[in-house]
Amino acid sequence: MSEDNKDLGDKAEEFANEAKESAKDFAEDAKETFNEFADSAKETLGSQDNKKVLAGILAILLGSLGVHKFILGYNKEGFILLGVSIAAYLLSCLAVGLLFIWIPGLIGLIEGIIYLTKSDEEFYNTYQVGKKPWF
């Protein structure tokens, strides 16, 4: 009986050691998986916050209306572009607006090109973190 108990004790100890090693392996795998997940989550969140392509295309297509400014959260600057555009269109009947009608569109075109030529990180730091409203 004592031989059986000793054999059973050895098997229990061997099982416990295997369980400890399995737990260590599992913990290491879990840490590795978590780090991979965290890295990919950071990349994904960074790309969601970065509105470079959307703002750049809208600036080129609808820059005179200031839509790209509203997308980036610059409401005051967006209303300025929109107001200048509306005033220029209204004054174009008097030919005075024809002198100013191209200015908001040119600003949008220039800003769109600037947005699209910057790197993602540079755009994010300049326009979303640094809040640089013009050019």
Residue spans of the domains in the chain: they are 1-49, 52-129
The fraction of the chain above a pLDDT of 90, given in percent, is 27
63 and 108 Cβ atoms separated by less than 8 Å: yes
101 and 92 Cβ atoms separated by less than 8 Å: yes
Mean of the pLDDT values across residues 60-79? 91
Residue 55 exposed, middle or buried by CB count within 10 Å (0-12, 13-18, 19+): buried
* pLDDT at position 114: 93
**Alpha-carbon separation of residue 89 from 68, 98, 122 (angstroms):** 20, 8, 35
* Higher per-residue confidence, 133 vs 54: 54
Q: What is the pLDDT of residues 20-60, one digit of tens each?
A: 787 787 778 767 776 776 666 556 445 545 788 999 999 99
pLDDT for residue 120 is more than 90: no
pLDDT for residue 105 is more than 60: yes
* Higher per-residue confidence, 16 vs 53: 53
Distance separating alpha carbons of residues 93 and 97, to the nearest angstrom: 7
pTM of the model: 0.59
* pLDDT at position 45: 47
